[in-house]
Structure 1
Amino acid sequence: MTTVETIHDVPVLVCPPEGDRIRGEREALDLIGDAGYRGARWVAVPAERFDEAFFRLSTRVAGDIVQKFVQYRTGLAVVGDISRHTAGSAALRDFVRECNRGRQTWFVADTDELRERLKG
């Protein structure tokens, strides 16, 4: 069940591992809308909820999804181990590194890392 958890005064919509796959912009907009309705400023999504195409940058799925979150000023945290995806893709490793330098989209190993990043 999707819940809202306040982490360091930041309301976060926390998605469970089970649920519909996030395949593109439509599912991203559903999450953004749910977050807005519930007053959340960030959405934490388990990595396994994303369609495989998300991790292949040539499909542009990741870019489209991230852009929607940026457009609606909602943070996105991809939570979980994505090493099997980054191991074979220098472009994805670079994308993750660049996202993690910013304040809008993060790839984190677990919720503890997300908590630490939201500290400030």
Structure 2
Amino acid sequence: MEIQKLESEGIARVRSDEVIIKDTASMLDFVMSVQYETAYHKIIVDKVAVLEEFFDLKTGLLGDAFQKLVTYQLRMAIVGDFSMYSENFKDYMYESNKGSQVYFVATEEEAVDKLK
């Protein structure tokens, strides 16, 4: 895992080729570690760093994990391709992207724009 500070934006950009976020506890550990290292409340992470089961709404992992972000006033953008998921997930993604906590975007540039 590599953490880059986008200082002008106050955003932590995390790059990883392996799964870091495996459940709610690991997601909370991840965001708290990033926040501790950078002092930033806004995080960009690649989709490949998130366990695939998070994107299956039936597991409840996504909702539980994102509730923790809201509780701790953290914001996150997940960068990747989400086109292969169910219509229910796409609806969830659409609603989430209209909010102010969690975003699902295709590019890092979109992530920065959302988190500004």
Contact map agreement 1:35 1:42 (CA 8 A) in 2: no
Deviates more, 1:27-36 or 1:104-113: 27-36
Consecutive unaligned residues of structure 1, counting only runs of 5 or more, are none
Q: What is the count of residue pairs matched by the alignment?
A: 114
**Whole-Å separation in 2 of the counterparts to 1:35 and 1:84:** 29
Q: What is the percent sequence identity of the aligned residues?
A: 29
Structure 2 length normalisation: TM-score? 0.88
**Whole-Å separation in 1 of the counterparts to 2:115 and 2:31:** 19
Q: Does 1:93 pair with 2:98?
A: no
SS at match of 1:43: strand
Q: Which amino acid aligns with 2:111?
A: L
Q: Which runs of 4+ in 1 moved over 2 A?
A: 115-119
How much has 1:17 moved relative to structure 2? 2.9
C-alpha offsets along residues 60-114 of structure 1, whole Å, 9 cap, x if unaligned? 01111111111110001111111112xxx12101110010001111011111112
Deviates more, 1:59-68 or 1:110-119: 110-119
Contact map agreement 1:31 1:43 (CA 8 A) in 2: no
Contact map agreement 1:5 1:11 (CA 8 A) in 2: yes
**Whole-Å separation in 2 of the counterparts to 1:74 and 1:23:** 18
Structure 1 length normalisation: TM-score? 0.85
Consecutive unaligned residues of structure 2, counting only runs of 5 or more, are none
